[in-house]
Copies of this chain bind each other. A is one copy, B any other.
Amino acid sequence: MRERILNLLYQRKKKYVSGEELSRKLGISRTAIWKHIQTLKGEGYKIVSQKRLGYSLISVPDLLLPYEIERGLKTKILGKRIYHFREIGSTNDFAIELVRKGIEEGAIVVAETQAKGKGRLGREWSSPFGGLWLSIILKPKILPTQAPRMTVIAALGVAKTIRKLYSLKALIKWPNDVLIRSKVGTIRANGRMRKKGSRVFKKVCGILTEMSAEQDTVNYVVIGIGANLNIDIKKFPIEFRKNTTSIEKELSHKIDRVEFTKRTLEEIENFYLLFKKRGFAPILKEWKKISATLGKGIKAVSGRRIIEGKAIDIDSDGALIIETKEGKQEKILAGDVTLITR
């Protein structure tokens, strides 16, 4: 009901809608309308009321509220159920609880901040206010070995959103990061500016896919997306700052986080449906086009293995193929990759 009231106010934003009209269109009493308006105000909506004129929506809060994400969202599966938190431990953990209670595919969890955001391999993930901390529940019919494909689909969705909305050159660093080209102008230790042409790519989004599986089949995956949107880089722990950036920093202005969230859900769903219809080949093709890794000199640490060489291909399982100096081809399924620039 609150969503419907909001939608009516939205249609005439900054103009007035009378309590009587709302009451008539929604079939509830004017007192009930008034109560819902109070709740919306409590959630951060600025709504003024004038005698005889009614209610007018002045501004919406800078929050990823379900009302806002749902409005005009063009998806069939993703975001059909939205759980929103001002603060949560970890959106992935909450999503796993939900899916274990039987929630359907496509439900999402979104939070303004995470107290215990998780990175890969139990690492900490800094989640200050202004980012998008999102978990998506999917139940694809795949083998456990194919789960990395879901990470790729999510990374593609995020990269495409960044490219389309902000015209920033977003690339995917194998296996699970989205990078964007960072501005020139960093002052080096020696006081000189970075030379033009030496622009670097920095991390703007990381993806943590967790799965539950049996030998034969994946029960579910939870795709955790952490995207640095309207964040001052100084809010990140000092050790992350060098390689991390935010959309705000690169654009020099804040973006509409709700719009970003909606587009990301739509892009990911498109790739997911494409995968379901035509398999992984078209996904792989898209991925290769915007890979930050392919063709580069890299150092990869996978478990106890350390491999240096050139990243020459990504195979159909999503594994990275590296050609070493000795001309040998090595394949890794997961790991930490450093791009070697000389």
Contacts and interface: CB of A to CB of B under 8 A. Distances in A.
Contacts of A59: none
Q: How many copies does the complex hold?
A: 2
Interface string A84-106: 00000000000010001000000
B335 A216 contact: yes
Nearest to A216: B334
Contacts of A335: 216
Interface residues of A, number: 28
Given A143-B303, A333-B145, A121 B209 contact: no
Contacts of A309: none
Scoring A96, A144, A148, A335 by chain B CB atoms within 10 A of each residue's CB, the highest score goes to A144
Nearest to A143: B333
25 contacts: A96-B100, A120-B214, A120-B215, A121-B214, A121-B217, A143-B334, A144-B145, A144-B211, A145-B333, A147-B215, A148-B215, A151-B215, A175-B215, A208-B214, A209-B214, A209-B215, A210-B212, A210-B213, A210-B214, A211-B212, A211-B213, A212-B212, A215-B334, A216-B303, A217-B334
A317 to B, nearest CB: 9
A144 B144 contact: yes
Given A96-B100, A100-B96, A216 B147 contact: no
Contacts of A302: 216
A176 interface: yes
Contact of A216 (B100, B120, B144, B212): B120
A67 B203 CA distance: 54
Given A147-B215, A209-B214, 19 more contacts: A120-B214, A120-B215, A120-B216, A121-B217, A143-B334, A144-B145, A144-B147, A145-B145, A145-B333, A147-B213, A151-B215, A208-B214, A209-B215, A210-B219, A212-B212, A216-B302, A216-B303, A216-B335, A217-B334
A96 B216 CA distance: 18
A173 to B, nearest CB: 14
Interface string A189-222: 0000000000000000000111111111101000
A335 B211 CA distance: 20
Contacts of A210: 212-214, 219
A219 B217 CA distance: 17
Interface string A148-159: 100100000000
A214 B125 CA distance: 15
A304 B329 CA distance: 31
Contacts of A96: 100
A216 B208 CA distance: 10
Contacts of A175: 215
Nearest to A148: B215
Interface string A287-319: 000000000000000110000000000000000
Contacts of A209: 214-215
Contacts of A214: 120-121, 208-211
A120 B120 CA distance: 29
Given A96-B100, A145-B144, A121 B216 contact: yes
